[in-house]
Amino acid sequence: MAIQTGDRIPEAKLQRIGEGVEIIDTPTLFNDKKVVLFAVPGAFTPTCSERHLPGYIERFDDFRAKGIEVACMAVNDPFVMQAWGRSQQAPEGLLMLADGNGEFARLLGLEMDASAYGMGTRAKRFSLYAEDGVVKLLNVEAPGEFRVSSADYLLQQLA
């Protein structure tokens, strides 16, 4: 069953590149903080690169002005996420997180089978807003859609 508003973020480990490969566990990422996490099916894929990540880059300062940290997640390795963030000129502080084996997507109940496209298991396109590790807003896109997980849509919900 997919995570719902009011649920606590499950414990998992994600990766990013900092001083080498760094492990970030979800309690460290979410506890005692306000966090927006948005997930994309894949780094460097068309909608993700042309619209989804760019929207959060464009509106990054708007989230930060509200005291909210911003993280992007995909079922990719941390080196791909780092390269994608650099290619998109993601600002310092926008976390580019790798869920390499899709474990966190599965724990959230927001994984999808993209095997028909040669991509295996991926995360559904979604956004969530959490306070102190509890989901306050959750927006999951219908297959092939890009609307409710956008930065603009989430900012409207937070207004």
Give the residue numbers annotated as catalytic, written as ranges: 48
CA 92 to chain centre: 16
Nearest CA among 97, 91, 55, 95 for reference residue 79:
97
Please state, in angstroms and as integers, the Cα–Cα distance from residue 87 to each residue in 26, 38, 50, 82, following that order. Answer: 26, 18, 12, 9
- In this structure, how many other beta carbons lie within 10 angstroms of the beta carbon of residue 98? 23
Amino acid found at 43: A
- Residues forming a β-bridge with 39: 73, 126
Question: Could you give the angle at the alpha carbon of 32 between the alpha carbons of 26 and 35, nearest 5°?
Answer: 60
